[in-house]
Structure 1
Amino acid sequence: MSDLDWSTPDGLAAIRDHLAGELEGWRAPAAWAVGVSPASSTPDWVYPHVNTPGGAHGLPAVVLGTILRHDGSTATLPVSRADLEAAVTSLEPAEACTELPHPNLAAWREVLHELEGNPAREAVAVFVADPGDPVSSEADASMRTTFEGHAPQV
């Protein structure tokens, strides 16, 4: 992949397509996020950034799917610190593209910081293939409450 261009939106799209082609069964989820368990007694998971339905952040999704060996189907998956560090390292070259913001990379770094500050916290990746799919976990329900006009049924 070294010949692919990380500095342009078209280059990032080509990298996304390349990675998606390498990941068996991959289909881009309608929504997804990386979250961290609550630090207080509240039940809500914390999501520094949620990729809501209709978003356009496909490269981070497939990078995370590649690391977790996940196909993008609706699921809640544990994310180890090592997994998240690998995701950050894999996506960092995309910062060469200054035409686009990189909210997922910033969110992953924030989750890593939260994990460092409190090792009892846990990280998860929530993928939602279709907003009509059943909720896969409490973390999924927490994430879906961020979707405008959506009240998940748990």
Structure 2
Amino acid sequence: MEPDWSTPEGLAAIKDALAATIDGWSAPVAYAVGISPASSSPELEFPHVNAPGGRHGLPAVVLAKLLGHANGTQTYELTRSQLAAAVETLLPAEACTTLDHPNLAAWRGILGELDANPARTAYAVFIGDLDDPVDSEADATLRTLL
């Protein structure tokens, strides 16, 4: 059966099927893709934050699969090609017009920022549990945004 990218139920089924291919998968309580600052400002930027209780689970699974992440709290440096691959993988989800796709919009924006300034760095941050120790500066910044 062909996956149905056009409905929320179809996207949930795709998320579940992809998650089932990740050994030990446990959905993060929060996650985001961020980018290092362009100026002297020390703060990492997170254009979209998937906070606890959020419903955008498919992007988390897509990122996790791409990065080899299964569970827990972890920060990954993302190459431009890895982020581009995540966008490509998630693109068909835009067929579901009843949902917003804030992760795709944010990730595309970050790709543009990386193209404009290759000295910047992108990060994927997964927070497995809010009680986990802070893993990185990016993790600490993300938690302040929750």
Provide structure 1 residue ranges, at least 5 long, that are not aligned to the other structure: 148-154
Count residues with an aligned counterpart.
146
Aligned to 2:37: 38
SS at match of 1:145: helix
The alpha carbon displacement at 1:72 in A equals 3.3
Output the CA distance in 2 between the equivalents of 1:33 and 1:145.
13
SS at match of 1:61: helix
Q: Could you list the per-position Cα deviations for residues 87-140 of structure 1 after superposition, in whole angstroms to 9, with x for gaps in the alignment?
A: 000000000000100000001001101100100000010000011111111111
Aligned to 2:129: 130
TM-score, normalised via structure 2 length: 0.98
Amino acid at match of 1:83: Q
Provide structure 2 residue ranges, at least 5 long, that are not aligned to the other structure: none
The residue correspondences of 1:16-27 to structure 2 (distance < 5 A) are 16-27=15-26
Which contiguous aligned blocks of 4+ residues in structure 1 show a shift greater than 2 angstroms?
A: none
Aligned to 2:51: 52
Aligned to 1:70: 69
| Larger deviation, residues 112-121 vs 64-73 | 64-73
The alpha carbon displacement at 1:32 in A equals 0.3
Output the CA distance in 2 between the equivalents of 1:73 and 1:93.
28
Amino acid at match of 1:146: L
Output the CA distance in 2 between the equivalents of 1:126 and 1:143.
8
TM-score, normalised via structure 1 length: 0.93
Aligned to 2:140: 141
Q: Could you list the per-position Cα deviations for residues 38-93 of structure 1 after superposition, in whole angstroms to 9, with x for gaps in the alignment?
A: 11112110011000111111000000001111113201101111100000000000
Output the CA distance in 1 between the equivalents of 2:87 and 2:16.
19
Amino acid at match of 2:93: A
Q: Measured at CA, do residues 72 and 107 of structure 1 come closer, stay the same or move farther in structure 2, by a change above 3 Å?
A: farther
SS at match of 1:32: strand
The residue correspondences of 1:92-107 to structure 2 (distance < 5 A) are 92-107=91-106
SS at match of 1:131: coil
Output the CA distance in 2 between the equivalents of 1:11 and 1:54.
20
Output the CA distance in 2 between the equivalents of 1:26 and 1:107.
24
Output the CA distance in 2 between the equivalents of 1:72 and 1:96.
29
Output the CA distance in 2 between the equivalents of 1:89 and 1:58.
16
